[in-house]
Amino acid sequence: MIFWLRARLALVAASRYTAGHSSPICLVMVVAAYVASRKLNTQVSSSTGSLHCAGYVCQEPSGRTALVIVYLTDKEKDVTKQTTHHNGDALELKLSRRAFLRFIALSSSGAVLAACGAPQTTTAPEVITTGTATPVLAALPPAPPAGPLTAADAGGLEALIEAARQEGELSTTALPDTWANYGEMKQTFFEKYPFLTHNDLTPDASSAQEIEQIRANAGNRGPQNPDVIDVGFTWGETAKKEGLLPPYKVATWDSIPATLKDPEGYWYGDYYGVMAFEVNTQVVKNVPEDWSDLLKPEYRGQIALAGDPTGSGQAINAVWAAALGNGGSADNATPGLEFFRELNQAGNLLPVIAKPATIAKGETPIALRWDYNALGNRDETAGNPNIAVVIPKSGSLAGVYVQAISAYAPRPFAARLWMEFLYSDEGQMIWLKGYATPVRFDDLQQRNVIPSDLLARLPRTDAPVVFPTGPQIDAAFETIKNGWPTIVGASIS
């Protein structure tokens, strides 16, 4: 099946350029690609002519090589929608699914490659080509001094506001309006601080892309360099280890649970959701209540994941959640794969990705999604059709995201002001209005500051919910991504 992948590419390196080129590096439109085998060689046709690709590196006939990386989204944002890109650095790939899967098999990182252009003056890391044509990224330029650890260290909140005013803008990335009520979050913050211009970068980016944007723009002072990130739980520690984050502790630091933050302040949990069944009750008259129900013949051709479990975080977590209701655990995700094999063999699992539109049309009437996405869609449809959101009785899984500031943020004070807002009572309540449970929920509830009508809207369940650790997440993701093709064998697109 032919599918579109639209993403913002991070041009992270260029090397071995011929002498005399001074124009900026450009990104080319790849119009066709073919992978003959799993060997590290392929031909890619582009607007600049045929490129020879070996591993991660593509080389033009002139001898110039460049490295560009695209990662599939793990937040299940709509990757087909039109978005605004800066400096024209958008690329659109159109590959057959088979060619695409073979193409990403060439690299251990799941990267898609393209190349073009001539060198530009930038501090992005170089690609060092080894004898086996496998590139090695040179060290990033030194990060600026870490800056104040707290608002108090910056002279207080008013001093922080004034410093942000001097910077005049803030660049965020991977924050679609419909995800965890970020539309209201962004609108409220920039109305509160109207002296800041918002650079709303790549709302459909994945956690991997967010980290790559930091690497790619290290030393770049322009608006395309993200100041802050919102990534999946394990990416916080990964970015810390790579030196991509500075420490910062918001004023409400002590009310963030210790298990959901880095003790030194490099990253901190922001909100979480629970894996749920989102059901179009206009199509499905008997709403499933547990994982075992999904195997019933009456649900044949009705169940869909919200992504491809070999690359989508939301889909991977759905498989892992299924393990919890089928004899598995936070340390054993394999029963989830075995459950989906049964679901597929029964004909109940659809080979398509569930989205709000397909749920509403009845094309994917039972979808496995984060509860805050499902509940937000329920409100959006406003009864046309009616949407039921169910936490499986035998258990489900919670997924936590984390916030952090880029060590290379061109606007470090605006970034800190953003964090102070997110973790204030006002910011936490905005997430809660979008059904994403904020990390400071217990503190808010203990102080009785959550409006009763808002509490009444929140989903309630007696089902056990597992909060996995970072190492458990890493292990489960590898088990599911690697095991899906062989154990389940279903292609989801």
For 189-198, write each residue's pLDDT tens digit.
Answer: 999 999 999 9
For 325-351, what is each residue's pLDDT tens digit? 999 999 999 999 999 999 999 999 999
How far CA 319 is from CA of 192, 304, 333, 490, in Å, comes to 41, 11, 8, 13
pLDDT tens-digit series, residues 363-385? 999 999 999 989 989 998 999 99
Against a cut of 0.75, is the pTM above it? no
Cβ 401 vs Cβ 431: under 8 Å: no
Q: Which amino acid is at 146?
A: A
96, 27, 230, 247: CA torsion to nearest 10: 140
The mean pLDDT of 122-128, rounded to a whole number, is 38
Do β-strands 366-370 and 303-305 pair in parallel, antiparallel, or remain unpaired?
parallel
Dig out the tokens for 177 from the structure.
């309006």
Q: What's the DSSP call for residue 126?
A: P
Residue in 157, 177, 171 with CA at minimum distance from that of residue 213: 171
Q: Which two tokens stand for residue 439?
A: 């990390």
Q: Is residue 415 within a helix (H) or strand (E), and if so which, with residue range?
A: helix 412-422
User: CA nearest 199: which of 230, 163, 171?
Assistant: 171
pLDDT band at 139 (very low <50, low <70, confident <90, very high): confident
Single-letter amino acid, residue 230: D
> How many beta carbons lie within 10 A of that of residue 335, not counting itself?
18
Alpha carbons 228 and 293: distance in angstroms, whole number: 42
**pLDDT tens digits along 164-187:** 999 999 999 999 888 899 999 999
Amino acid in position 426:
E
Q: What's the pLDDT score for residue 178?
A: 80
**Angle CA(100)–CA(104)–CA(109) in degrees, nearest 5?**
150
Tokens 């933050």 belong to 261
* Residues 144 and 150: beta-carbon distance below 8 Å: no
Alpha-carbon span 170 to 227, nearest angstrom: 7
Confirm if 492 and 98 have CB atoms less than 8 A apart.
no
Dmax (CA) of the chain: 70
The 8-class DSSP code of residue 260 comes to: G
Amino acid at the residue 54: A
What is the spatial distance between Cα 124 and Cα 492, in angstroms, rounded to a whole number?
35
Q: Can you tell me the distance from the alpha carbon of 331 to that of 473, in angstroms, rounded to the nearest whole number?
A: 9
Torsion sign (Cα): 179, 181, 185, 186: positive
Can you list the domains of the chain with their CATH numbers?
2-137 (no CATH), 157-270+408-456 (3.40.190.10), 272-398+465-488 (3.40.190.10)
